[in-house]
Structure 1
Amino acid sequence: MPFHSSISISPTITAYFWKNSETLEDLFDQVLLKDSSIKRLEGMQSIEHKKGFLGVRMLVQHIGFTDFDLVYDATGKPHLETNNTITSTKIKHISISHSHEFSSICVSTDEIIGVDLEKVKEKVLRIAPRFMDVTHLEDLSIEKQTKKATVIWGVKEAIFKIKNEVGISFPDHISEDSFTLEDKSGSAHLHFNSIHESFSFQFYEIESFIFVCAKPK
């Protein structure tokens, strides 16, 4: 079935994954959308992007909410208006990502979170010098370099989603401590506007994708 899986990241944080194998029409028929979301969907050119958008709404429904509960603030960050739903789940934070045929949401009852989902592609190695310290890829096979660079990109995306401030540069402001793929977790830091913040992250393989969840330390 299109609902793929869930991951319990901690007692208060859970990630959910939807595999968009249905047709666009089938997805659309299953989702309750508010007018602004329909307008947003109609403005999308890519079928893949449309299915990713609807897959996120399917996951929102899967956990007992609807698109009417999903709102975005002035900076574009998503929130669930829990007072507008009959569910008793006390979710305080939500982060969203979709890539190719997968959509994901991650919800937390206490901690701020940011997530990213990326398909593992070897082309990430071509752009790695633009966003990361490539010494972190030394002495690895091409396969492991590709996965690790994808993790690092996901870490930086996830942290950016948490902060969501104009001017943050992946190579200049976000750095990661040394880690291995076997660790499945690590630490990263944001140095921006004379402020230093630290984050922890965990990462998982979902078929040919890397999923990263970050949170402030």
Structure 2
Amino acid sequence: MPLYKRITVDKDTKVFIWKVEESFDWLSRGIELTDNCSRRVEGMKSEIHRRGFMSIRHLLAEAGYEDKDLYYDDLGKPHLHDGKNISITHSFNFTGIILSDKKVGIDIEMQRDKILRIANKFTPLKEYHTLANEDALIRKLTIVWGAKEAIYKMYAEPGLGFLQHINITDFEFEAGTTTGTIYFNGSTSRYYIEFLEFEGFTCVYSLPIEEAPVKNL
């Protein structure tokens, strides 16, 4: 299928989401990979990972880029050669990218009950005792995890812990936005967060709060 969703966060920031339904051969058409990326995709044992990898190249094309425009630093963080900021995510049959002149992070997660078993590793569960049912708890925890993942990708500092250093302000599902704060190495930084849900998945993206869209503050 074509692009699943395009979101204009502000004039400098755009999100692109792909639902991976095509074959690897279809996704490979018209996409020229660098030698390094060709070796990477050839070494992938999972078919969904191979298809997801190629779908991200289609997302790059939607934004006006090619595979050769993308590179990764020593920490595994993606960058674009023209200086634009990019973050990339892949979860089962959905992939997404966010591009901006500002620092950005994005995460897509499937809503699964597995998150209930690992929640105490990334957030204090007592904060969510008022939720009406298990489904609501899974949804909220998935948003919180996605928000922390998006912020973590943006901050990119070794030693940063989800539970110890990143706090997500409580929110209502209907709001679609919240904020997050990092307390790390004696400094504090705050982040603006947007989230949306579709087909049993959650997408969360973030940017520094001083650069957040004015319309949403």
TM-score by length of 1: 0.91
Q: Deviations over 1:89-141 (max 9, x none)?
A: xx721111011001111111x22101101111121111111111212322212
Write out the 4+ residue segments of structure 1 that deviate beyond 6 Å after TM superposition.
none
**Is 1:101 the equivalent of 2:93?**
yes
| Residues 2, 22 of structure 1: 8 Å contact kept | no
Separation (CA, whole Å) in 2 of partners of 1:137 and 1:46: 36
| Residues 151, 212 of structure 1: 8 Å contact kept | yes
> In structure 1, which of residues 160, 177, 194 is the aligned counterpart of residue 152 of structure 2?
160
Separation (CA, whole Å) in 1 of partners of 2:118 and 2:166: 16
**Is 1:181 the equivalent of 2:212?**
no
Structure-to-structure mapping, 1:76-155, within 5 angstroms: 76-82=76-82, 92-108=84-100, 110-140=101-131, 141-155=133-147
- Residue aligning to 1:52: 52
State the Cα distance separating 1:193 from its structure 2 match.
1.3
**Is 1:199 the equivalent of 2:191?**
yes
Q: Which runs of 5+ in 2 are unaligned?
A: 210-217
One-letter code aligned to 2:126? T
Q: Deviations over 1:149-202 (max 9, x none)?
A: 000000111111011111111111111122121221111111111121111111
Q: Which runs of 5+ in 1 are unaligned?
A: 83-90
Change beyond 3 A, Cα 1:136–1:181? farther
* RMSD value, Cα: 1.4
One-letter code aligned to 1:195? S
Separation (CA, whole Å) in 1 of partners of 2:55 and 2:173: 28
Separation (CA, whole Å) in 2 of partners of 1:207 and 1:133: 27
- Identity among equivalent pairs (%): 36
| Residues 2, 20 of structure 1: 8 Å contact kept | no
Indicate the SS of the match to 1:3. Answer: coil
Indicate the SS of the match to 1:30. Answer: coil
One-letter code aligned to 2:164? D
Indicate the SS of the match to 1:45. Answer: coil
| Residues 155, 213 of structure 1: 8 Å contact kept | yes
Separation (CA, whole Å) in 2 of partners of 1:203 and 1:157: 12
State the Cα distance separating 1:35 from its structure 2 match.
0.5
State the Cα distance separating 1:11 from its structure 2 match.
2.6
State the Cα distance separating 1:27 from its structure 2 match.
1.3
- Residue aligning to 1:75: 75
